[in-house]
Amino acid sequence: MSGASIQFDGATVRYPGAGHAAVENVSFEAAPGELVVLLGPSGCGKSTLLRTVNRLVELQGGSVAVDGHDVAGVDAVELRRSIGYAIQAVGLFAHMSVAENIAVVPSLLGWPPQEIAARVDELLATVGLDPARYRSRRPRALSGGEAQRVGVARAIAARPRALLMDEPFGAVDALVRSTLQRELVRIVRELRTTTLFVTHDFDEALKLADRIVVMRAGSVEQVATPDELLARPATAYVRELVHAGDAVYRSYYVHVRETLR
């Protein structure tokens, strides 16, 4: 099963009382199976833009379409069940076991219990957690990295064709973060899930992205592959962001990407 296409066409979000739009006239498309990183500083609109896909934030202008279907015309609950969503805070349900947390969406979709149980074990193995050891644990018994892995497993449990990730590894230490990044690249490549990934960390963007959408003050500065971004930054802002011209940095980036793929 291939990933979904996600298309933004003039997407605009204005919050009541704000002096300027949170997102202003954003247009680009994530191709099926592509991992697109939304990159920029805090407050630039990247998380707001991400949440327009599953309608946690509603547009005031333009449109967002998944596989050519405007999300505004899709039932919000149905839409959210069809799109994976992982956030920095993880959001695991404390009163549920790991297995029950992962099974939330498949259960809501009416999957048979045996299929759900098999899927839970499959996903725990996929994210590097032994099912026999982890399926019955409560979230409080997990480390930060383990909880993030369970969060990713829950996000992809119902085999979504699109996955939204909002700084999902921001709360873990550098070593765990690097491990989770490698796991994410492997999983996304295997499942061919179209993924939008929000980060303010340029190094993380370089490691993960097929393409990077650089945002500033609600608008898009440049959409490019990591190689293109380093070689041909479109604006002074992007040039400063990517350390353009720094040969040592560029060499480091090439090495890191090779280790992830």
Q: Give pLDDT tens digits for 168-189.
A: 887 667 777 787 788 788 888 8
8/70 Cα distance (integer angstroms): 10
SS3 of residue 62 by DSSP: strand
> How does pLDDT run across 5-44, given as a tens digit for each residue?
999 999 999 998 888 899 999 999 999 999 999 999 989 9
Do the bridges between strand 194-199 and strand 211-216 make them parallel or antiparallel, or are there none, so unpaired?
A: unpaired
For the chain, the domains span: 6-85+164-260
DSSP states along 116-155: HHHHHHHHHHHTT--HHHHTT--GGGS-HHHHHHHHHHHH
Residue 209's H or E segment, with its range, is: none
Backbone phi, psi, residue 217, to 5°? 50, 40
> How does pLDDT run across 72-115, given as a tens digit for each residue?
999 999 999 899 988 876 678 889 999 999 999 999 999 999 99
By CB atoms closer than 10 A (0-12, 13-18, 19+), residue 140 is exposed
Statement: residue 244 has pLDDT above 70: no
User: 152 pLDDT band (50/70/90 cuts)?
Assistant: confident
CATH topology of domain 6-85+164-260: Rossmann fold (3.40.50)
CA-based nearest residue to 169, from 80, 93, 90, 248: 90
- Assess contact for 4 and 194: CB atoms under 8 A: yes
108/64 Cα distance (integer angstroms): 25
Burial code (b: 16+ CB inside 10 Å, e: under 16) for 33-71 equals bbbbbbbbeeebbbbbbbbbbbbbbebeebbbbbeeeeb
DSSP states along 64-98: EEETTEEGGGS-HHHHHHHEEEEETT----TTS-H
For position 99, what pLDDT does the model report? 96
Answer yes or no: pTM beyond 0.85: yes
For position 53, what pLDDT does the model report? 97
148/155 Cα distance (integer angstroms): 11
